[in-house]
């Protein structure tokens, strides 16, 4: 409490603070590749230096022996007549000198069998990535996990009485910790399906994938970045009573220009009753159940489905699915749900909006309304902003989920007649992709940049970065797909 | 020229322009700490040679984009990550320690691509991970998400 960071003068000749430090009796010791031992006294808040006994080639802390002995134990490497010699030296605080340890005999002479066991434990094959946990006279080998590592750290810091203290071989844990970091880096680049499968590789991976909040965040961040070699793409179907979706054959196709495979829609919900009623956002989508008139949240990747705890259909006839827009507020890191509904106001149709944050203790808040008579149908979520194309007035409306403000900008002048927002390309590229038509029904594709920061849009239209010309096959595919209005693309 | 020393006491001379791609060494040079040999206690010479090879190739990344050598660089990268798991992990650890962002990205992405479609058994074998889950725990995970364990793309081979 009431504390703040204080600056401490560091010794000028100390340029690397090794991460391999040890705390002992109020002093933190660390070695440095320049063959010195540095220490930091927590009471005086001062750095100090211990010279090595004689010229030695390199030095490192022997963490376990230090913790066991209660005195600083160093492993020095000397160079004697063409060969190297490793030995452990114990530090004596009173005369600031080192004494060579002949460990085996000395420790056994004290009647302490622990040390021999620890010696043996040290030899455990490190490739097995296990670490050693020693408790008084027991040696327990436990699989390393980050949780254990945190536990080891906190336990080591808290325990004072040596007889009851658990001792952890810090060095191997450290190694595991490094390894864990790298596994973290690699796994966060994998698609959701692989992750769900790798849950059962081992306990460490399981707890990393399931329980580590940092991992989840990093995975979300990474899968939102535009170059997406690892994302999965799903196609969900809009409701269609005449069509029997269940008999749709299993097929896979590659999306033009992207190394992605389109996954099959999963029939984890009943298409007869459930209808999609929102855009997709980070792999989530809202479903409306016609029978119980409730709204459900579907995780497309896992097939998990959850009913929302509040009602959304109290405004209009229960037969029609509510028009919802699902978005993610990047600042608050919360999902928000926006509902659009049309009302008569002075004999005029007005599209009103209300919003609520998903989670506990939230309620519907009324917010801005569109003064137009026709409300746009489909919304698209991208980087914290919802977009709608509004054809009659040739404008694109966007709603910033953080500021909760509705704004708009106009279509490019020469193709301002009509526009389609390509939801799949938008999601794949991480930028707004529009197909704009002119009055002669010629069309051009536009990628908008810098819409991530809607501030820039307020002043004038966003600059056109790229008027991309793809091959004919792409165009044909696009035209086909834009007619096929039943497919909704969803990316996780 | 900057001198680097691996943990088995071999010294390597690298051009400064190449070596400053490592954030860690860049900081050291800026602080004026790199006048003599820089010891790298976490990296062995075999790995260091690999890293230096990468640094030298990527020295003129900006220029490559202009002169159309991008494909050449891509090809090099593809060749570069074509190594065994042990070696790849060593390079990742070194890249992590030296803080070379591009190399880290390249190697981790390559590792992820290799793991992507592998079966659980293949992953365990490739990375030498011992399965410490009980059969019931494993079955429970499979029952939770059976779809993740099915599909024509899942590859059970180890390579």
DSSP states of A161-230 as a string? Answer: -GGG-EEE-HHHHHHHHHHHHHHHHHHTTS-HHHHHHHTTT-HHHHHHHHH-HHHHHHHHHHHHSS--SS
Give the closest-approach CA distance of A179 to chain B in angstroms: 8
Nearest CA in chain B to A183: B108
Hey, is the C-beta of B60 within 8 angstroms of any chain A C-beta? no
Q: How far apart are CA B140 and CA A291, in angstroms?
A: 32
Whole-model pTM over 0.90: no
Give the closest-approach CA distance of A202 to chain B in angstroms: 5
Alpha-carbon torsion, ordered A95, A98, A100, A104, to 10 deg: 90
Cβ–Cβ of A230/B116 closer than 8 Å?
yes
- C-alpha A37 chain-centroid distance: 38
pLDDT value at position A170?
39
Interface mutation target, options B108, B126, B134, B142, chain A, most CBs of A under 10 Å? B108
Among A187, A189, A203, select the one facing B133 at the smallest CB separation.
Answer: A203
Q: How far apart are CA A396 and CA A419, in angstroms?
A: 9
Cβ–Cβ of B151/A58 closer than 8 Å?
no
Contact, A335 vs A381, CB < 8 A?
A: no
Cβ–Cβ of B112/A190 closer than 8 Å?
yes
Of residues B10 and A99, which shows the higher confidence score?
A: B10
pLDDT value at position A421?
73
Cβ–Cβ of A201/B116 closer than 8 Å?
no
**Beta strand A405-410 pairing with A418-421:** unpaired
Give the mean model confidence (pLDDT) for residues B66-70: 65
- C-alpha A7 chain-centroid distance: 32
For residue A469, give every residue at least 6 positions away whose Cβ sits within 8 Å of its Cβ, in sequence order, or none: A445
Q: How far apart are CA B97 and CA A296, in angstroms?
A: 46
Reported as a single tens digit per residue, the pLDDT across A13-67 is 665 556 567 787 788 887 765 667 778 888 777 787 777 766 677 777 777 777 7
Q: Which residues of A touch B148 (CB under 8 A)?
A: 193-194, 196-197, 199
3-state DSSP call for residue B131?
Answer: coil
Domains and CATH numbers, chain B: 2-115 (3.30.710.10)
Strand partners, A262: A233
pLDDT value at position B149?
83
Among B28, B104, B117, select the one facing A15 at the smallest CB separation.
Answer: B28
pLDDT means over runs of 10, chain A (492 residues) = 71 61 80 72 80 71 72 76 72 73 44 44 38 33 40 43 39 48 80 81 81 71 50 49 41 43 48 71 78 78 74 63 82 83 73 81 75 62 80 75 80 71 67 71 63 34 33 42 43 46
Among A33, A127, A200, select the one facing B141 at the smallest CB separation.
Answer: A200
Strands (E) in A315-451, as ranges, are: 323-329, 334-345, 348-357, 365-370, 379-382, 385-390, 395-400, 405-410, 418-421, 432-437, 443-448
Q: How far apart are CA A378 and CA A489, in angstroms?
A: 12
Contact, A491 vs A234, CB < 8 A?
A: yes
Nearest CA in chain A to B111: A186
Give the closest-approach CA distance of A199 to chain B in angstroms: 7
Hey, is the C-beta of A77 within 8 angstroms of any chain B C-beta? no
Show me where the domains of chain A are located: 5-125, 173-224
pLDDT value at position A253?
43
Cβ–Cβ of B112/A200 closer than 8 Å?
no
3-state DSSP call for residue B56?
Answer: helix
């Amino acid at each position: 409490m009431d504390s703040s960071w204080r600056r401490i003068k560091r010794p000028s000749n100390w340029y690397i603070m090794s991460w391999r430090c040890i705390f002992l009796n109020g002093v933190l010791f660390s070695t440095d590749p320049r063959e010195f031992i540095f220490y930091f006294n927590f009471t005086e808040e001062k750095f100090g230096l211990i010279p090595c006994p004689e010229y030695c080639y390199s030095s490192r802390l022997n963490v376990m022996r230090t913790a066991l002995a209660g005195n600083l134990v160093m492993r020095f490497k000397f160079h004697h007549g063409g060969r190297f010699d490793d030995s452990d030296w114990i530090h004596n605080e009173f005369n600031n000198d080192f004494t060579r340890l002949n460990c085996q005999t000395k420790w056994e002479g004290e009647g302490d069998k622990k040390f021999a066991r620890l010696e043996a434990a040290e030899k455990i094959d490190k490739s097995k990535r296990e670490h050693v946990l020693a408790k008084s006279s027991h040696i327990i080998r436990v699989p390393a996990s980050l949780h254990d590592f945190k536990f080891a750290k906190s336990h080591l810091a808290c325990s004072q009485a040596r007889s009851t203290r658990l001792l952890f071989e810090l060095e191997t844990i450290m190694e595991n910790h490094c390894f864990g970091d790298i596994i973290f880096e690699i796994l966060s680049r994998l698609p959701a399906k692989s992750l769900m499968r790798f849950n059962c590789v081992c306990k460490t991976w399981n707890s990393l994938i399931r329980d580590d909040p940092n991992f989840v965040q990093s995975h979300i961040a990474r899968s939102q970045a535009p170059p997406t070699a690892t994302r999965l793409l799903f196609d969900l179907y809009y409701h269609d009573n005449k069509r029997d979706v269940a008999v749709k054959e299993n097929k896979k196709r590659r999306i033009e220009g992207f190394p992605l495979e389109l996954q099959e829609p999963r029939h984890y919900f009943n298409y007869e009753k459930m209808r999609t009623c929102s855009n997709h956002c980070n792999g989530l989508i809202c479903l409306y159940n016609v029978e119980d008139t409730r709204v459900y949240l579907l995780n497309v990747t896992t097939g998990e489905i959850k009913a929302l705890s509040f009602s959304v259909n109290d405004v209009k006839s229960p037969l029609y699915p509510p028009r919802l827009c699902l978005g993610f507020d990047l600042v608050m890191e919360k999902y928000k749900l926006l509902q659009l509904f049309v009302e008569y106001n002075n004999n005029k149709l007005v599209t009103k909006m209300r919003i609520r944050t998903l989670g506990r203790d939230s309620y519907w808040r009324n917010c801005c309304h569109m003064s137009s008579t026709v409300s746009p149908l489909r919304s698209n979520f991208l980087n914290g902003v919802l977009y709608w194309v509004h054809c009659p007035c040739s404008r694109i409306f966007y709603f910033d989920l953080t500021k909760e403000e509705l704004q708009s900008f106009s279509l490019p002048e020469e193709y301002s007649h009509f526009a389609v927002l390509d939801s799949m390309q938008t999601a794949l590229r991480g930028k707004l992709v529009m197909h704009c038509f002119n009055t002669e029904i010629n069309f051009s594709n536009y990628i908008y940049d810098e819409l991530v920061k809607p501030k820039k849009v307020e002043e004038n239209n966003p600059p056109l970065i790229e008027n991309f010309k793809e091959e004919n096959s792409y165009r044909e595919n696009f035209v086909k797909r834009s007619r096929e209005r039943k497919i909704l693309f969803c990316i996780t | 020229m900057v001198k680097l020393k691996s943990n088995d006491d071999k010294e390597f001379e690298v051009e400064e322009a190449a070596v400053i791609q490592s954030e860690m060494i860049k900081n050291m040079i800026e602080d004026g700490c790199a006048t003599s040999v820089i010891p790298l206690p976490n990296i062995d010479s075999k790995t260091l040679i690999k890293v230096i090879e990468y640094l030298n190739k990527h020295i003129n990344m900006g220029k490559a984009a202009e002169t159309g050598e991008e494909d050449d660089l891509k090809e090099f990268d593809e060749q570069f990550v074509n190594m065994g798991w042990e070696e790849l992990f060593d390079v990742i650890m070194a890249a992590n320690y030296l803080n070379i962002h591009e190399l880290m990205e390249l190697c981790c992405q390559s590792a992820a691509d290799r793991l992507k479609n592998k079966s659980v058994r293949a992953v365990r074998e490739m990375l030498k991970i011992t399965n410490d889950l009980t059969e019931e725990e494993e079955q429970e995970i499979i029952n939770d998400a059976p779809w993740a364990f099915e599909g024509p793309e899942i590859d059970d081979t180890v390579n």
